A and B are shown apart, each in its own frame.
Chain A
Amino acid sequence: MEYIAYILIVVGLVFFLGTSIGLLRFPDFYTRMHAAGKGDTLSTVLILAGCIFAVASQGEMSWLIGLKILLIINFVFIGSPTATHAMMDAGERAGAKPWKKKGGDK
């Protein structure tokens, strides 16, 4: 059980790394938002899944804690993509133009 937890958490962290690099490197608003959205949802869910397995092996009440973590995962799935969508939507209305390859306006 322990090893699955370690693997999941490490993979989650890798995604977080990808998100932060994405946030820094991507040229314009939309691509940065894309990176942030992905990192925000996926890596959190992976880390939480890792926690479920980490907790699974302790004490006989751990299935209850596992269930609670599942609930949290469910909420993260509903919550953070909506947040990213809201920001994208607001950005689009506020007139942020997507980046074009041939040196469009920054």
Chain B
Amino acid sequence: MAELPIWQYDTLFLITVVLFGVTALTMQNLMSAAIVFGAYSFLMCLIWTAMGAVDVAFTEAAVGAGVSTVFIVATIYNTGASAKPRKPRVGFKLFAGAVAVATGAFLLSALPDFPAWGDPQSPVNSTVAPYYIENTIRDAHVPNIVTTVLADYRGFDTLLETAVVFIACIAIYSILRVDSAKSTVDEPDIIAAPPAYDPTDSLIIRQASRIMVPFMQIFALYVIAHGHYSPGGGFQGGVILGASVILLCISFDLKFVLRQWTEKKIMLLTALGVLIYAAVGVACMFMGGDYLNYNALDPVLPGDMAYARYYGILLVEIGVGVTVMFSMIGIYIILASNGRFKRGL
């Protein structure tokens, strides 16, 4: 048999990831389920780095593992619920298990038809992808191919992705936000059970976070700006910026952060990021190119045609970073404070 195309270590990671996934779902206590889910996501990042997908691993570590675990924990904190053991509805669980097994078998029926794991000649790696690898330098002078394809070749996808983040923020705002003053929606105000202990305001945690936050923010700006050369870009940088402010929310209390970032400022800047991205596209339209065709911006930007794309990508990444940062902060504050923007985690 030819040299086994399999990475021995990855099979080990994959098995452990499945174990983590299953335990995360079968755990009784919700909080521990959230923590195991966080561990599951971090292990997933490890697997993706081993497979060479560094940008995706970076995003998963920042967005998937970091922020979504914080969201789940904030929801659990606010509702203070833990999964009370209930009589299992065996009939329905079996039916659902049968459906899952049937779909799984149907999916596996296509197994022999798949290319082996990791062979460079598979149809995916031999049709459109070679164009990207060979022409990124010629087109946009950007070494990090992932950033070019993300912001330039398939820039429309990323605009829609930023719109998705923006919609998530407004959707959560309109679902949970209740300014109790003038809302007529009949919503019994079940205040979450007071937590077992009063939140700490110990000095050590505040000092530590006060030291860490500025460095986090500088590193995040570096990640956004340096997305052309090293793994990183708008999303990852934006999330780290958001995470630094969330760290402040946790170590100090919500009012401290809300004094600096008021609710209005957060929501406005979330919308502004999407506007920047769309405006760059519209500018290309007015300058004669197709939508999001940065070559059209050449007269405005320094350097030759390819460098116009280089700077176009940078502008777009900044727009993405702004939206992602403020929508992460917005989502966290609304989830943590159950929509009342007063006290929170």
Contacts and interface: CB of A to CB of B under 8 A. Distances in A.
A and B touch in the complex (CB under 8 A): yes
Interface string A92-104: 0111000000000
Nearest to B212: A78
B201 to A, nearest CB: 10
Contact of A78 (B197, B198, B208): B208
A75 B198 contact: no
B1 interface: no
Interface in B261-289: none
A86 B212 contact: no
Main secondary structure of the interface of B (DSSP, over half): helix
Nearest to B200: A89
B205 A86 contact: yes
A93 B215 contact: no
A23 to B, nearest CB: 14
Contacts of A79: 208, 212
Q: Which range holds the interface residue count of chain A?
A: 10 to 19
A89 to B, nearest CB: 5
A90 interface: yes
B211 interface: yes
Nearest to B209: A82
A79 B202 CA distance: 15
B196 A78 contact: no
Contacts of A93: 197-198, 200
Contacts of B4: none
B197 A82 contact: no
B208 A82 contact: yes
B205 A90 contact: no
Contacts of B209: 82
A94 B200 CA distance: 11
B204 A94 contact: no
Contacts of B208: 78-79, 82
A90 B212 contact: no
Nearest to B216: A75
Interface of A: 75, 78-79, 82, 85-86, 89-90, 93-95
Given A89-B202, A94-B197, 13 more contacts: A78-B212, A79-B208, A82-B205, A82-B209, A85-B205, A86-B205, A89-B200, A90-B197, A90-B200, A93-B198, A93-B200, A94-B196, A95-B196
15 contacts: A75-B215, A78-B208, A79-B208, A79-B212, A82-B204, A82-B205, A82-B208, A85-B202, A85-B204, A86-B204, A90-B200, A93-B197, A93-B200, A95-B196, A95-B197
